[in-house]
Structure 1
Amino acid sequence: MSEAVSALSGATFDGFAKLSDTGLRGMITVRGDLASKEMAAAIKAATGAAVPAQRRVGVGDKGKVAWMSPDELLVVVGYAEAGATVAALNAALSGVHALAVDVSDARAVFAVEGAGCRDALAKLAPVDLAADVFAADEVRRTRIAQVPAAFWQTGPDAFEVICFRSVAQYVFDVLRLSVTKGSEVDHLG
């Protein structure tokens, strides 16, 4: 059996912000009634976090859960734990209209870190990233350049960007151009 590798095998770029492929990540799409007690219990057991409110991210002791749409969550766990977490979620949600699917190998995750990270993302996404507007626990499902992506804050000067693996090189390249020294905007950083 072949060994799993991340989309860009740990690629990095240093500009006015640092860009890096974060490696393999367990990611599970969960669909269903987000307000149900079964969903709340399943998500809590899987991640240690509560089902987040609209456009929010919850962090627990076993993982992270991001609100993606009125009936969809993204559960983020260690890559090696994804299969067992899917099985646990499906067992906990049996008997209710719900779905949990491992999408780990269909996604890529990049970190954008440094004082200029907000400016770098703001150049590519139609989102107000001002520190007093974009909350620390907020997730935004949007576009980076012209492809679907989502991102959230992981620290005061750090974000993670998730995109489809099929467009990983394109997203990395536009992020690289966005963080290249000499292209600073310096409105938000």
Structure 2
Amino acid sequence: MAEHPSFVADPVLRDRAESPLTGHYQPGDFGTLADNDPGVTLSERFGLTIVELAAWRGDEEKIRSAVASVMNLKLEGAPGSGAAGENGSAFNTAPGRWLVSGEKAELAAELAGQTGTAGTLTDLSHGRTVIRIDGPRSRWVLSKLFAIDFSERVWPVGHGVSTSHHDIHAAIQRSGADAFDIIVFRSFARSFWHVLCRSSEETGYRVT
């Protein structure tokens, strides 16, 4: 693997890092549960590697090929299109830009080695928090917070969008049948977590 001359890997050290939700993340069941069955499940995906890839004009295919090589994900060029798999996920956030995440600590360095001079890579791992909402009422809860159509016909698995909840920027990607990953700035994570929990009380929610 060729070494990128201008990138210094700084992976998240999971055993030393501290979640911004520390002291506010309480596992258990909350809200109004129907037959002890929560409408949604909330969890933090702590310690992920999160990077933004941006291609120089005309080099978009090279960036997509780099992601395919490292993560075995096939990306398209359409806005919002993306993919999710065992090695992580990625989706198009803007023309020539992709937000990529995965559990592998070396992910950023490996992507940097493959992209070469085709674009830029920015490691966002230390500045972002990923919260997952899953369950049969996940779309219902998300629709309270975002003016977006979350229906099946416009949100295939892997599809994502960059949006905001009031002043809190959020990147949302569908990661499963009823699962959505919400990526927010670390400094807003605690506030957004409380908003999401309150919004889930009506359906009942489980924190895992």
TM score, norm. by length of structure 1: 0.82
Q: Is the alpha carbon distance of 1:180 and 1:35 closer, same or farther for their aligned partners in structure 2, counting shifts above 3 Å?
A: farther
Which stretch shifts more, 102-111 or 41-50? 41-50
Contact 1:137/1:153 (8 A) holds in 2: yes
Q: Is the alpha carbon distance of 1:95 and 1:115 closer, same or farther for their aligned partners in structure 2, counting shifts above 3 Å?
A: closer
Q: Is the alpha carbon distance of 1:156 and 1:59 closer, same or farther for their aligned partners in structure 2, counting shifts above 3 Å?
A: closer
Q: Within 5 A, what are the aligned runs for 1:56-67?
A: 56-67=81-92
Partner of residue 3, structure 1: 16
Percentage of matched positions with identical amino acids: 24
Check if 1:142 corresponds to 2:163.
Answer: yes
Q: Is the alpha carbon distance of 1:113 and 1:179 closer, same or farther for their aligned partners in structure 2, counting shifts above 3 Å?
A: same
Question: How many aligned residue pairs are there?
Answer: 179
Q: Is the alpha carbon distance of 1:91 and 1:141 closer, same or farther for their aligned partners in structure 2, counting shifts above 3 Å?
A: same
Which stretch shifts more, 110-119 or 9-18? 9-18
Unaligned runs of 5+ in 2: 1-12, 32-38
Q: 1 or 2 for the larger relative contact order (CA 8 Å, sep ≥6)?
A: 2
User: What's the CA shift string for 1:52-75, capped at 9, x where partnerless?
Assistant: 332022134532211111121111
1:169, CA displacement in angstroms? Answer: 0.6
Contact 2:50/2:100 (8 A) holds in 1: yes
Contact 1:66/1:75 (8 A) holds in 2: yes
Check if 1:47 corresponds to 2:68.
Answer: no
SS at 1:123's partner residue?
helix
Contact 1:25/1:79 (8 A) holds in 2: yes
Q: Within 5 A, what are the aligned runs for 1:68-147?
A: 68-81=93-106, 85-96=107-118, 98-147=119-168
User: What's the CA shift string for 1:102-127, capped at 9, x where partnerless?
Assistant: 21111111111222110110000010
* Moved beyond 3 Å, runs of 4+: 12-16
CA distance in 1 between counterparts of 2:156 and 2:21 reads 29
Partner of residue 195, structure 2: 174
SS at 2:145's partner residue?
coil
Contact 2:84/2:175 (8 A) holds in 1: no
Which stretch shifts more, 26-35 or 42-51? 26-35
1:148, CA displacement in angstroms? Answer: 0.7
Check if 1:30 corresponds to 2:53.
Answer: yes
Contact 1:107/1:162 (8 A) holds in 2: yes
1:14, CA displacement in angstroms? Answer: 3.9
Unaligned runs of 5+ in 1: 184-189
SS at 2:136's partner residue?
coil
CA distance in 1 between counterparts of 2:66 and 2:171 reads 23
CA distance in 2 between counterparts of 1:119 and 1:69 reads 26
1:48, CA displacement in angstroms? Answer: 0.9
1:34, CA displacement in angstroms? Answer: 7.5
SS at 2:148's partner residue?
coil
RMSD: 2.5
1:93, CA displacement in angstroms? Answer: 2.6
